[in-house]
Amino acid sequence: MAWTSPMTAVANEIFTAAQFNENIRDNLLETAPAKAQNPGGYFVVGSENSIVEREVHADLVDAAEGTTNTSYSDLETVGPQVTVNTAERALVHLFCGSGASGGDAAAFMSFVVTGATSINTDNSRCVSTSDNITQRSGATVYLDNLNAGSNTFVAKYATSHSDFEATFRNRRITVVPL
């Protein structure tokens, strides 16, 4: 069943069971209370005259691990990662404590999207810190080019100089699907 523009009642015309089912029952079944399943879920527009329940998803990897790979790759503990049902848009927040072991090296944390959508890592969608100081900060990315469906978001890591290891800890990814 789907949303139908509510009929307009006309004086002296019989209100039939079929009209009740289409205009009242079926439309009420398209409202938020009818679709609410998960505490903490929220409602967004799925398509014209249709709403869908979404949830915030997050994952955290606390372990301090490093890489000397100048191309984005996994650390010893893969992730963090979340798999989320999305439409075309989502907010993705990256957060970690990071630093590089010396020189002018920089540490980078980005993410890939797999599943319904394929998006590769990119320095325009990353958290980065430079030098051998451990900082902890985050970055929020707005994606509007997802393919609707099940999408998996996985954090990836790199250093700017293979001679200097980049270390990452308290790594978190949060996805707010829209």
Partner 1 sequence: MTAVAGQAFTAAQFNQYVRDNLNECPAAAATESGTYFVGHGTNEIVERNMVEDFVNPQEATSSTSFTDLGTFGPSVTLETGSRALVGVKSQGRNSTRENVISYEISGATERSPSDSRSLILWTDGTGYSAASFVDAALDLIPGANTFTLKYRTVDGTGEFRRRLLWVLPF
For partner 1, the binding residues (CB under 8 A) are 15-18, 20-21, 24-25, 28, 31-34, 36-43, 53, 55-58, 60, 62, 93, 95, 97, 133-138, 140, 170, 172, 174, 176
Cβ closest to partner 1, residue 38 vs residue 124: 38
Cβ closest to partner 1, residue 96 vs residue 147: 96
Instruction: Report d(CA 167, CA 164) in Å as an integer.
Output: 10
Cβ closest to partner 1, residue 31 vs residue 162: 31
Cβ closest to partner 1, residue 41 vs residue 115: 41
- Nearest alpha-carbon partner for 169 in 102, 95, 91, 68: 95
Smallest distance, Å, CB 60 to partner 1?
7
- Across the strands, what pairs with 43? 53
- Nearest alpha-carbon partner for 128 in 92, 96, 161, 174: 96
| Prior bond of 39 cis (ω within 30°) | no
Both structure tokens of 146: 């997802």
Smallest distance, Å, CB 53 to partner 1?
6
Smallest distance, Å, CB 174 to partner 1?
4
The distance of Cα 140 from the centroid of its chain, to the nearest Å, equals: 10
Yes or no: say if 6 and 23 are a contact pair by the CB < 8 Å rule. Answer: yes
Q: Please give the sequence-ordered ranges of beta strands (E in DSSP) within the chain, or none if there are none.
A: 42-47, 50-54, 57-61, 65-67, 81-86, 90-100, 106-115, 127-130, 135-143, 149-159, 166-177
Smallest distance, Å, CB 170 to partner 1?
4
Smallest distance, Å, CB 62 to partner 1?
5
Cβ closest to partner 1, residue 53 vs residue 74: 53
